[in-house]
Amino acid sequence: MMKNVFFTYGLFLLPLLINTQQTFAQNHRKLVFADEFNYKGLPDSTKWAYEDGFVRNKEPQYYTKKRLENCRVENGCLVIETRKEDYPNAAYKKGSDKADQKEPIAHYTSASINTKGKESWKYGRIEVRAKVPGGLGIWPAFWMLGYDRGAVKWPQCGEIDIMEFLGRDSTRIYGTVHYLDTAGKSRDKGEAPVVGNPSDGFHIYAIDWDDQSISFYYDSLKYFVFDFKKAEHNPGAVFQKDFYVLLNMALGHEGSWAGPVDDKILPAKYYIDYVRVYQ
């Protein structure tokens, strides 16, 4: 369970100039990566790779690869669609007790794409403009993992959750870091401000990241700063290396952080207008 410090922000803050941070980034930094999704079909294969199968957290959705029903670009947006449907599990092994192999059929499908093997960055402003869906059990995210994931285990690789949204907690967004501290213990730090209703339209989710800290934004609202030197539990150099970006929509289940799924909300669509990285 994530340990978060919650602050409630009144709705009077929402009309602030939502493009302030974006304009600052454009004026003071170089755009080093962007996908504006101004094309049609599958995501650009020079920028995006796929996760596939049952991947993590015993989540019920099966991530498909290069399947338009779950991941496509149309009308200027990337659309990640989570569906209730039966889909064969390619990794199934009869008699296996491994989470990704024991079920022959998945009952939900979705998509998770990332820039690993394509692009990675150390520091900068990383932002997405996106519209999340509502509904119980829904769990869209925009996040980052240390590029050495695979060579080292999680959370030693580090994780930066720029945005997580839970349909069961529809007035908040979550920004969190996960890491192994210098004492070798797993840590997570973050905040989850009340911002109104993120599923009401498109919003900007971003971080400003340098060798001292990571600042988290919802539109123009800076709601959390993780200062490496001031952290109660020292992260060391975990956040001073290359990370790659992930976009996905997961589902919860009974007993999970995201909670059980209300099948009536499906299919659900997560719209991404753009992803940009400035340095």
pLDDT in tens, 168-220: 999 999 999 999 999 999 999 999 999 999 999 999 999 999 999 999 999 99
Mean pLDDT, to the nearest integer, of 157-163? 98
Write down the pLDDT at residue 28.
Answer: 81
Contact between residue 202 and residue 218 where contact means Cβ atoms under 8 Å apart = no
- Reported pTM: 0.91
- The average confidence (pLDDT) of the chain is 92
Question: Which of 60, 65, 101 lies closest to 83, judged by CA?
Answer: 60
Write down the pLDDT at residue 25.
Answer: 52
Say if residue 167's pLDDT is above 60: yes
Q: What percent of the chain has pLDDT over 70?
A: 90
Burial-class residue 86 by CB neighbours within 10 Å (0-12, 13-18, 19+).
Answer: exposed
- What pLDDT, in 10s, does the model give residues 26-50? 568 999 999 999 999 999 999 999 9
Write down the pLDDT at residue 27.
Answer: 62
Q: Are strands 174-180 and 124-131 parallel, antiparallel or unpaired?
A: unpaired
Say if residue 18's pLDDT is above 90: no
Active site residues: 159, 164
Query: Hey, what domains does the chain have and what are their CATH numbers?
Result: 4-39+113-278 (2.60.120.200)
- What pLDDT, in 10s, does the model give residues 243-268? 999 999 999 999 999 999 999 999 99
Say if residue 221's pLDDT is above 60: yes
- What pLDDT, in 10s, does the model give residues 39-89? 999 999 999 999 999 999 999 999 999 999 999 999 999 999 999 999 999
132/28: higher pLDDT:
132
Label residue 100 left, alpha or beta by phi (over 0 means left) and psi (-120 to 50 means alpha): alpha
Question: Which of 140, 161, 128 lies closest to 249, judged by CA?
Answer: 140
Write down the pLDDT at residue 23.
Answer: 53
What whole-number distance in Å separates Cα of residue 257 and Cα of residue 252?
Answer: 7
Say if residue 160's pLDDT is above 50: yes
Write down the pLDDT at residue 22.
Answer: 52
Write down the pLDDT at residue 10.
Answer: 39
